[in-house]
Structure 1
Amino acid sequence: MLLTDRRVARGALVDVVAGAVGGGVRWVVLREKDLPRAERLALAVDLRAILAEAGGTLVVAGPDPLDGDAVHLPAAGPYPPPAVGLVGRSCHDTAELARLTTEHYATLSPVYETKTKPGHGPALRPAGLAVLVKASPVPVLALGGIETPDQVTACVEAGAAGVAVLGAIMRAQDPTETATTLGRAFQEAATRLVTSPARRGERPPETGLRPTVTTEGSSLTARSGHGRPQPRPQPPKNASGHGRPQPSTVTTGEDQ
């Protein structure tokens, strides 16, 4: 998942997003909340066109889906969430996770110190992320200060179903290369995690969060493992995005 911020992007926002999608990103969260609705709507149209060619999804920050069907909400509200096809929410602690109702996923942040919001925190670090992942009723995307392959790997090992990035791609000289690099790290870490139980002759857990491996047609909600049987995970076949709204190999961004 790539979260947008035109103020820190090295180039035109549409071009940066196009580059990231070329590198494997399949979810983009349109922020830019300071823009008038008409300008934001026009930007949403442009970004949806880019994502449509790759089978991706545009998620709009805030309760207004801008003529779409996917929103990402702040922890403060609104409650209950709007009735749209995909709803995410920013969370930071167990109390905010406990307020989730019909949301499909949550972001947990900040995992690391973030350049976009200096002083925001304290940082969860992978250990704190792991604790909150276990407390979450929905799949979790790690968010905040994630810039390196090692950080992506640590988030997957902590139980994150995806990774959200902002600065690493918005500020990148080559968004495609950065998205590819971080996506590869996610893919490799998730593959190791879902295949290691079988190698040890163990049965993978039937409940609990598992990282989302990028395969066509998979569902983030179905992978939550809460209250429903889960199929045994299989290694990824490619680095494409998910058919139903899914984070790609990397969900890219800082805290909302």
Structure 2
Amino acid sequence: MKCEKETMLLYAVTDRMWTGKQTLMEQVEDALKGGATCVQLREKELDEENFLKEAIEMKALCAKYGVPFIVNDNVEIAIKCKADGIHVGQSDMEAGNVRALVGEDMIIGVSTKNVEQALAAQKAGADYLGVGAMFHTGTKLDAEEVSREAAQEITAAVDIPVVAIGGINKKNILELKGTGVDGVALVSAIFGAENIEEECKTLKALSAEMVQA
């Protein structure tokens, strides 16, 4: 499976901070019902056994909706659960090394902040790029913000899909019009919503409007 631009339109990134009334799996299913085009499982605290169990279950759920399932950072878990993709940051394993481990079929996403990083990731075999943080975000406290101009430079420099991430919500998403990004990756804007399914429908429509610019 390779990455299409449409896959980036509404990219849901999990965070169990907002679980309680619903399980993480219930939240993800609501996001899928609302039109999420990609799901990334991000777990920083879970042990390997439970991470793998959760990944296998979420992979099956995403497959039911025909949506790619991506694992954040953990290449071993991505391989074991037969994920559709793996996403790595600049401080994680380099994309070329990831490709050697996962083979040709798995999607590889790489977080980037500038053209140099973007071109290096594309050359190393990345299938898509995450660019951000576009706005101030409380989800990743050490994230440096990326300017609108930098995002435009990155999308102009590469041939692979680009998704914007970081502090994006329905109030500021249209500020990304004209940057060339193919969609938005959202954490709290989706999983912190009262009604995740309805919120995803709204966010997907706004993202579609954003990319038409």
- The match for 1:17 is 28
1:117 matched to 2:128:
no
Unaligned runs of 5+ in 2: 1-10
CA displacement, residues 25-76 of structure 1 (integer Å, 9 cap, x when unaligned): 0211111132122211111122122212211111011222132141111112
Contact in 2 for aligned 1:26/1:51 (Cα 8 Å) = no
Structure 2 CA distance for aligned equivalents of residues 124 and 38 of structure 1:
35
Deviation at 1:156, TM superposition (A): 4.2
Deviating more after overlay: 93-102 vs 159-168: 93-102
Unaligned runs of 5+ in 1: 194-256
- The match for 1:56 is 67
- The match for 2:198 is 177
Deviation at 1:175, TM superposition (A): 0.8
Q: Indicate how the Cα distance of structure 1 residues 40 and 188 shifts in structure 2: closer, same or farther if over 3 A, else same.
A: same
- The match for 1:205 is none
The correspondence for 1:168, drawn from 189, 202, 205, is: 189
Contact in 1 for aligned 2:56/2:81 (Cα 8 Å) = no
Paired residue type of 2:140: K
Q: Which has the larger radius of gyration?
A: 1
The correspondence for 2:81, drawn from 35, 42, 67, is: 67
Larger proportion of helix? 2
Deviating more after overlay: 66-75 vs 176-185: 66-75
Q: Indicate how the Cα distance of structure 1 residues 143 and 175 shifts in structure 2: closer, same or farther if over 3 A, else same.
A: same
CA displacement, residues 170-209 of structure 1 (integer Å, 9 cap, x when unaligned): 111111111111101122333x43xxxxxxxxxxxxxxxx
Structure 2 CA distance for aligned equivalents of residues 115 and 8 of structure 1:
13
- The match for 1:131 is 153
Structure 2 CA distance for aligned equivalents of residues 46 and 164 of structure 1:
21
1:140 matched to 2:150:
no
Q: Indicate how the Cα distance of structure 1 residues 6 and 128 shifts in structure 2: closer, same or farther if over 3 A, else same.
A: same
Structure 2 CA distance for aligned equivalents of residues 46 and 22 of structure 1:
17
Deviating more after overlay: 151-160 vs 136-145: 151-160
- The match for 2:47 is 36
Count of aligned residue pairs for this structure pair: 190
Deviation at 1:130, TM superposition (A): 1.4
Aligned identity (percent) is 24
CA RMSD after TM alignment: 1.9
Paired residue type of 2:93: P
Q: Indicate how the Cα distance of structure 1 residues 98 and 187 shifts in structure 2: closer, same or farther if over 3 A, else same.
A: closer
Contact in 2 for aligned 1:97/1:137 (Cα 8 Å) = no
Structure 2 CA distance for aligned equivalents of residues 167 and 76 of structure 1:
23
- TM-score, scaled to structure 1: 0.68
* Paired residue secondary structure (2:172): helix
* Paired residue secondary structure (1:142): strand
> Aligned ranges for residues 1-256 of structure 1 at < 5 Å?
1-9=11-19, 11-62=22-73, 63-64=75-76, 65=78, 66-68=80-82, 69-79=84-94, 80=96, 81-82=98-99, 83=103, 84-100=105-121, 101-118=124-141, 120-121=143-144, 123-148=145-170, 150-190=171-211, 192-193=212-213
